[in-house]
Amino acid sequence: MTSADKSSLLVSIDYTPSFAPKESKALPERLISGDPAFKTWPMDVSRDGLVHTGIWEATPGETRSIKGGTLEFCYLLSGAVEITPDGGQPVIYRAGDSFVMKPGFTGVWKTLETLRKIYVTVME
């Protein structure tokens, strides 16, 4: 897949981007276990800056997930994750699954197998 011109109102998501990702690690205050590494390939940002889309990858590890005022839609392209909402039961998602974490979500994000996902975030 290739992305349409950035000024276009139609943007394709490239599952295997050819440009270099932004690389990061878990924030120390959110790290629970392991040493997960993250790669982000931003694909598009809305004109008002409130909607972001792209590809995100994580290696195994366990972190606190805190959405704050952001809604996030995820579609897993590969790998597996176990998400445990605070006060809830763990749910495992694998390649082909999709889910939404609503504003205010808090819990544990445990990457079981290196995963790659398409993300869409919408800030309140």
Domain edges within the chain = 30-123
Put simply, whether the predicted model's pTM sits higher than 0.85 gets the answer yes
How far apart are the C-alpha atoms of 52 and 117, rounded to whole Å? 13
Structure confidence by residue, pLDDT tens digits, 46-62? 999 999 999 999 999 99
CATH class of 30-123: mainly beta
Within 13 Å and on the Cβ side, how many CA atoms surround 51?
Answer: 7
User: How many beta carbons lie within 10 A of that of residue 41, not counting itself?
Assistant: 19
Structure confidence by residue, pLDDT tens digits, 67-89? 999 999 999 999 999 999 999 99
